A and B are shown apart, each in its own frame.
Chain A
């Protein structure tokens, strides 16, 4: 705080703090508090609001825990978000290692540009593009057929497959960048030292690179998991008749049932339960929040 005042002077420091506080309070905390308040109120007709029936209740939360379908959808959402996270990790780690330690810094710039160009197109368009690519008579099947790899078209979008493909595609970069940053800060001499002591490639990664990159892997996993579990666009565009994502249920409460109270409760449950899940995973993998903030 003193350092901040010394660097920017009293006035500027005040402005910086005031803006940060405003952003946190007005844009993050307050809307959430309002929703939280909503979630404990019953869903009643307007004319009964403020009346004897308008008292705090846990009924909205009970709706979730007494609905086997919603519980199942939540479980599937967490499960498939984990699968997305795992696939992203498997794809991103080698790529991040390549960018950080194998390619020259100049080439890495080109690679980054190529990786980022797809982000210039909106997520909606990209998801629709995938729904065309993955269509039964779409370009992917045509290409595979043309190459003689398949005789018959593959139904890519059965079950959760379309959602998985779409989510991995949309969020894989959120895994690449933190891991890239972490690996880049590793002293290349350590990799060479391990090699010099006789370590084969897998052991260098297992004992030297991955332990060093763990904070990056941790924050990448958290980001991809939370974004996937909270995604509404990809599941609604690329989902199949049998894939239901928990965010779609929330959306239904808000916009189809116009029951904001239960919707709020569900939104909070998603937040809380995902947080609990992530904390458990962090505990299990021995990653601390401090490491991630590093």
Chain B
């Protein structure tokens, strides 16, 4: 059913601008794979390259082992779901879904029957004769998915298809997409700048910045073991403290900063003498009454945000940098007041020293 997608040392140049820089990875058959990154990081270019609208400047793309160079988008075993869905407004719902079959010369009766089947898959039974303009955002979404599924693609490519939906629907469609992917066993390649979507749906995630792959891994890897500072700050919240590694202690880094000395895990490529940043997630940080000593960032509390199940405490350190500590909303939690002085602390295994973003090689 599904096929893998291999990107071998793929580069794309738009004039002097390098949009995709030596991306090398394999998307496994049947996998839900996401490219995550800020806008302009090259993720859409990758998607358009896999679908055939852009040819790589160098490197090659293989789908199911077959080199795709020179094969047009209408000849590839892929189906693309556009960010704005690009449904055909002048055709009915079923004609939209059956368009790919119409192209393949399937008879009208068979097309209609297949469209009905797919409407059942996406839970839209009875909407076949409606106009596209009569559908809600979520229904349009489903029609777009059905239209793409109709051509039985080996690889489904999705370009931020949920970005236009409201929050509730977006969350619902996440699990829906995931379910459809499991049911159809098609390789899904998903593009998003929304880390929540990428983490919640994907088997694996590739984080990109400025055309360069920063890290490829499972959502848990990406979140718990970020490869560099870019990944650590882009995926989830992180408190940052700049400084320098001055020594090692039981395999941990001794990290010297203006706020004092810290112990933390060593990130990839960090050695004694490296100038780097220490990262600790708000949920791994605690507040103490002590405002000096090692592993302690003295803070002045600037905001207490009640979020429901947890409370975000915002504060600024002596250098004016903002930090966040996340507290569970326990009955006995001692919530500080704005203006209080507290220390931000954490256990060394929860903090990591990382280099900045993986720069271009």
**Chain A positions near chain B (C-beta within 8 angstroms):** 187, 189-190, 192-200, 203, 207-208, 211-212
Interface residues of B in 13-36 (CB under 8 A from A): none
Cβ-defined contact, A196 with B74, below 8 A: yes
Among A189, A198, A203, which residue has its beta carbon within 8 angstroms of that of B82? A189
- The minimal Cβ–Cβ distance linking B54 to chain A, given in whole angstroms, is 11
Task: A197 to B111: give the CA distance in the assembly, Å.
Answer: 14
Cβ-defined contact, A195 with B73, below 8 A: yes
Cβ-defined contact, B80 with A196, below 8 A: yes
Interface residues of B in 149-177 (CB under 8 A from A): 151
Q: Report the nearest B residue to A191, measured CB to CB.
A: B86
A/B interface sample: 22 pairs, CB < 8 A: A190-B88, A192-B53, A192-B86, A193-B87, A194-B88, A194-B99, A195-B74, A196-B52, A196-B53, A196-B74, A197-B100, A197-B103, A197-B147, A197-B148, A199-B74, A199-B99, A200-B74, A200-B103, A203-B103, A207-B91, A207-B99, A211-B90
Which residues in A have their C-beta under 8 angstroms from that of B100?
197-198
- The minimal Cβ–Cβ distance linking B75 to chain A, given in whole angstroms, is 8
- The minimal Cβ–Cβ distance linking A48 to chain B, given in whole angstroms, is 61
Give me the 6 closest cross-chain CB pairs, A-B, nearest first. Answer: A189-B86, A197-B100, A193-B86, A198-B103, A196-B80, A211-B90
Among A189, A190, A192, A207, which residue has its beta carbon within 8 angstroms of that of B73? A192
Cβ-defined contact, B74 with A192, below 8 A: no
Task: A207 to B147: give the CA distance in the assembly, Å.
Answer: 15
Say if the beta carbon of B239 comes within 8 Å of chain A. Answer: no
Which residues in A have their C-beta under 8 angstroms from that of B99?
194, 197, 199, 207
Given contacts A207-B99, A211-B90, A212-B90, are A196 and B84 in contact (CB under 8 A)?
A: no
Given contacts A197-B99, A199-B103, A207-B99, are A192 and B82 in contact (CB under 8 A)?
A: yes
Which residues in B have their C-beta under 8 angstroms from that of A195?
72-74
Cβ-defined contact, A187 with B103, below 8 A: no
Which residues in B have their C-beta under 8 angstroms from that of A197?
74, 79, 99-100, 103, 147-148, 151
- The minimal Cβ–Cβ distance linking A201 to chain B, given in whole angstroms, is 9
Among B53, B72, B84, B148, which residue has its beta carbon within 8 angstroms of that of A187? B84
- The minimal Cβ–Cβ distance linking A285 to chain B, given in whole angstroms, is 15
Task: A195 to B79: give the CA distance in the assembly, Å.
Answer: 10
Among A196, A203, A212, which residue has its beta carbon within 8 angstroms of that of B51? A196
SS of A interface (majority): helix
**Chain B positions near chain A (C-beta within 8 angstroms):** 51-53, 72-75, 78-80, 82-84, 86-88, 90-91, 99-100, 102-104, 147-148, 151
Among B78, B80, B86, which residue has its beta carbon within 8 angstroms of that of A190? B86
Task: A200 to B91: give the CA distance in the assembly, Å.
Answer: 18
Which residues in A have their C-beta under 8 angstroms from that of B79?
196-197
- The minimal Cβ–Cβ distance linking B234 to chain A, given in whole angstroms, is 27
Task: A193 to B150: give the CA distance in the assembly, Å.
Answer: 13
Cβ-defined contact, B151 with A198, below 8 A: yes
Task: A91 to B79: give the CA distance in the assembly, Å.
Answer: 34
- The minimal Cβ–Cβ distance linking B208 to chain A, given in whole angstroms, is 22
Which residues in A have their C-beta under 8 angstroms from that of B147?
197
Q: Report the nearest B residue to A197, measured CB to CB.
A: B100
Task: A137 to B73: give the CA distance in the assembly, Å.
Answer: 52
Task: A211 to B89: give the CA distance in the assembly, Å.
Answer: 10
- The minimal Cβ–Cβ distance linking B153 to chain A, given in whole angstroms, is 9
Task: A203 to B101: give the CA distance in the assembly, Å.
Answer: 12
- The minimal Cβ–Cβ distance linking A186 to chain B, given in whole angstroms, is 10
Which residues in B have their C-beta under 8 angstroms from that of A187?
84, 86
Which residues in B have their C-beta under 8 angstroms from that of A193?
80, 82, 86-88
Which residues in A have their C-beta under 8 angstroms from that of B151?
197-198
Given contacts A192-B53, A192-B82, are A198 and B90 in contact (CB under 8 A)?
A: no
Given contacts A190-B86, A193-B82, 10 further A-B contacts (CB under 8 A): A187-B84, A193-B80, A193-B87, A196-B78, A197-B151, A198-B74, A203-B103, A207-B88, A207-B102, A208-B88
Q: Report the nearest A residue to B147, measured CB to CB.
A: A197
Which residues in A have their C-beta under 8 angstroms from that of B88?
190, 193-194, 207-208
- The minimal Cβ–Cβ distance linking B46 to chain A, given in whole angstroms, is 15
Task: A203 to B104: give the CA distance in the assembly, Å.
Answer: 11
Task: A182 to B312: give the CA distance in the assembly, Å.
Answer: 52
- The minimal Cβ–Cβ distance linking A243 to chain B, given in whole angstroms, is 41
- The minimal Cβ–Cβ distance linking B140 to chain A, given in whole angstroms, is 13
Q: Report the nearest B residue to A211, measured CB to CB.
A: B90
Task: A193 to B96: give the CA distance in the assembly, Å.
Answer: 11
Cβ-defined contact, B84 with A189, below 8 A: yes
Which residues in A have their C-beta under 8 angstroms from that of B148?
197
Q: Report the nearest B residue to A192, measured CB to CB.
A: B53
Which residues in A have their C-beta under 8 angstroms from that of B90?
211-212
Which residues in B have their C-beta under 8 angstroms from that of A203?
103
Task: A26 to B52: give the CA distance in the assembly, Å.
Answer: 60
Task: A197 to B75: give the CA distance in the assembly, Å.
Answer: 9
Task: A53 to B185: give the CA distance in the assembly, Å.
Answer: 91
